[in-house]
Amino acid sequence: MFDRRLVVNFDWVLLLTVLFLAGAGIVNLYSATASWHASTPIYLKQCLWLFGGVMVALIICLFDYRHLEHFAVHTYIVSVGLLIFVLTLGKTTMGATRWIDLGFFNLQPSEVIKIAIILLFSRIFSQTASFVGYSFLELWKPFLWLLIPVGLILKQPDLGTATMVVFIAATMLLFAGVKRGTMVVLSILGILTAVAGWFGLHDYQRARIRTFLNPEADPLGSGYHIIQSKIAVGSGGFRGKGFLQGTQSQLSFLPERHTDFAFSVFAEEWGFSGSLVLLLVYLFLIVWGLYIARRAADRFGMFLALGVTAMIFWHIVVNLGMVIGLLPVVGVPLPLFSYGGTSMVTTMIGVGLLMNVSMRRFMF
């Protein structure tokens, strides 16, 4: 029989917070693409993706999240299979092969693998984590599980998404616990990998890093995006220029203003005050995610909530760092705010998992 406690404990706070952020994103997309002429406006497409995402999240809430522990490996294998498929038969756009053309929309498997990694690592850490922490040798299996999809994503190439997958896994590992010596070894390996990785980057990826260090060196070329973004953010002032009044976006100076640089449009129109409100709502979402993890009924639910929260957190940090020039431009969208079907649905799957864990915190 259906447990009435699931309805009583439905997490309206989380759902309303997510809908507020997504609603603000749709309004922002309306402004960012107001001058565009298309058969179906971008903001209407985003509404459809949001509706679909909410439906998926609610469906996820219907079954006990603990059943997912048994399917974590299967989900991982299917997701890796999709990554292999996209490299062989995927759709290539602007030199990158990241999408599978399904006709009515383009599926980006590198987004799906984030959920698969969260499920898999939640299963591993919930079963093997201890108060002592992991030693370096005990981490070889998780490293192997992680290395395979990250390598496939880098082949697309998609440095931004590969970095997100690593950040999510690393955050979950830190919460699981590692020995001090292991932390030192991992830090050294991370530095060495970053140095060696420079020589494995594509030319455009090296250009992005050079642009990050000195965007003014090529203001009309590789530095154009970030320079225009910083102008848009800074010109908003305290109160902003007003809805539909942003010159950088309305006059088409700001590129990719519906995806990577959606926040730049918002900051120009709503200023520091509006941006602060938006960031506080995002902060509340992260804190609430950690609160759900803390109250989870079991270890698997705790790591599941931590993984989803880490996914949202790192997307926020990296995207905002990009648009204000603190981080290189790596093509990471702002969750629930930037346009993107696969990104929206993936985020809403994570939200559904969070609500699932929250609803069943009383069940043992």
List per-residue pLDDT tens for the chain, 364 residues long.
446 666 778 889 999 999 999 999 999 999 988 877 777 789 999 999 999 999 999 999 988 899 999 999 999 999 999 999 988 877 776 666 777 877 777 788 888 999 999 999 999 999 987 778 888 888 888 899 999 999 999 888 788 889 999 999 999 999 988 888 888 888 888 888 777 766 766 676 676 677 666 666 666 666 777 888 888 888 888 988 988 888 887 777 787 888 888 999 999 999 999 999 999 999 999 999 999 999 998 999 999 999 999 999 999 999 999 888 888 888 889 999 999 888 899 999 999 999 999 998 876 5
Spatial CA neighbour of 290 closest among 265, 270, 313 = 313
**Domain-wise residue ranges, the chain:** 4-359
Distance, CA of 21 to CA of 250 (rounded, Å): 22
Contact 305, 357 (CB under 8 A): yes
* pLDDT given for residue 269 in this prediction: 93
SS (H, E, C) the chain: CCCHHHHHCCCHHHHHHHHHHHHHHHHHHHHHCCCCCCCCCHHHHHHHHHHHHHHHHHHHCCCCHHHHHHHHHHHHHHHHHHHHHHHHHCEEECCEEEEEECCCCEECHHHHHHHHHHHHHHHHHHHHCCCCCECCHHHHHHHHHHHHHHHHHHCCCCHHHHHHHHHHHHHHHHHHCECHHHHHHHHHHHHHHHHHHHHHCCHHHHHHHHHHHCHHHCCCCCCHHHHHHHHHHHHCCCCCCCCCCCHHHHCCCCCCCCCCCHHHHHHHHHHHHHHHHHHHHHHHHHHHHHHHHHHCCCHHHHHHHHHHHHHHHHHHHHHHHHHCCCCCCCCCCCCCCCCCHHHHHHHHHHHHHHHHHHHCCCCC
Sheet harboring 96-101: ordered strands across?
Answer: 91-93, 96-101, 106-107
Locus of tokens 């952020």: 21
* pLDDT given for residue 145 in this prediction: 93
Distance, CA of 141 to CA of 123 (rounded, Å): 13
Angle (CA) 308 11 332, round 5°? 30
- CA end-to-end span of the chain, whole Å? 17
- pTM, two decimals, is 0.91
Token pair listed for 270: 């709503």
- The C-alpha R_g of the chain, in whole angstroms, comes to 21
* pLDDT given for residue 198 in this prediction: 67
Check the CA dihedral 154-155-157-161 and report its sign.
negative
Spatial CA neighbour of 207 closest among 195, 191, 231, 224 = 224
Q: 140 to each of 6, 44, 133, how far by Cα in Å?
A: 39, 46, 14
Contact 345, 56 (CB under 8 A): yes
Burial class of residue 226, CB neighbours in 10 A (0-12, 13-18, 19+)? buried
Contact 337, 25 (CB under 8 A): yes
